[in-house]
Amino acid sequence: MQSQLRGLSAALIYFVALLILAFILAPLIAPVIIAFSDGIIVAFPPQRFSLRWFTKVLADEEFLAALAFSARLAAAVTVLALALGLPCAFGLARRRFPGRDAMMALIMAPLIFPVLVTGLALLQFFTALGSRNTFLHLVIGHTVIAIPYVVRTAAASIVLVDEAIEDAARTLGATRLCTFLFITLPQIRQGIIAGAVFSFVTSFDDYSLSMWLADAANFPLPLQIHVFIQRFFDPSVAAISTLMILFSMMLMLLIERGMGLSVKRLVTT
């Protein structure tokens, strides 16, 4: 009787898990199916299937320019977020000083503070300074919302490092740089890569902050997608969404297969 109850409970848990998974994936699956439609208007389910909208999107100069700009912007943000966030993570994870908790809360604030408000505040700040470098504004703004991911993931990895191994390396004559490169860095590599991935994706997909800081010459992909939706709502928008989903999946696959890291461990770092 107890074994039957356990089996029934397990089946119920799996059924509920499948329902939740279907609820989460439904908004992603629908655009993918629509992207292969042969019609000129959005219809679900499609009557016929075709790759015409992918061909149209990949030949669109505005889309390709926005895609290249977003990739370049996200790469710059990732490098800057790592350069600033990693030393900060070391200081917060290894040192105890007055105001440490307040500093951690301040760094993590962009995760809970509305991004729209952050973008408006940065716009007013740059306007007051008289700055007109839009690309720099976007890099700074995206770095502000990306640094918390680097600090959070890197600090979680740094806490798990055995400092006795670092002390042993120093005792045997290794310099601080060699100790970091050959002892510490391999142990925190997954946390750093996780922070880099989250930073890149956060910048690449950001719309709310870019809406305030972008201009016609510096136009990220999310804003370009919004323009496409306003201009004409056809399956090409779904094709763009499908390409972005495919890009994210390829990024995860590259990390897991090419770098030998588990995506599950990255997410739970």
Domain ranges of the chain: 60-267
- For residue 96, the SS3 value is coil
Nearest to residue 152, comparing CAs of 126, 188, 206?
188
Q: What is the pLDDT of residue 256?
A: 65
Beta bridge partners of 218: 215
User: Burial of 98 by CB count in 10 Å (0-12 exposed, 13-18 middle, 19+ buried)?
Assistant: exposed
- Separation CA 153–CA 89 (nearest Å): 9
User: Which pLDDT tens digit goes with each residue over 45-92?
Assistant: 767 777 777 888 888 888 888 889 999 999 999 999 999 998 888 888
Q: What is the pLDDT of residue 8?
A: 64
Which DSSP letter does residue 181 get?
I
Q: What is the pLDDT of residue 111?
A: 82
- Separation CA 80–CA 20 (nearest Å): 37
Contacts of 15 (CB under 8 A, 6+ apart): none
Q: What is the pLDDT of residue 5?
A: 56
Domain covering 60-267 in this structure, CATH number? 1.10.3720.10
pLDDT per position in the chain (269 positions), as tens? 556 556 667 778 888 888 888 787 777 777 777 777 776 766 667 677 777 778 888 888 888 888 899 999 999 999 999 999 988 888 888 777 787 788 888 888 888 888 888 888 888 888 888 888 889 999 999 999 999 999 888 888 888 887 888 788 888 887 888 888 888 888 888 888 888 888 898 898 888 888 888 888 888 988 888 888 777 777 777 788 888 888 777 777 766 664 555 555 544 44
Q: What is the pLDDT of residue 255?
A: 66
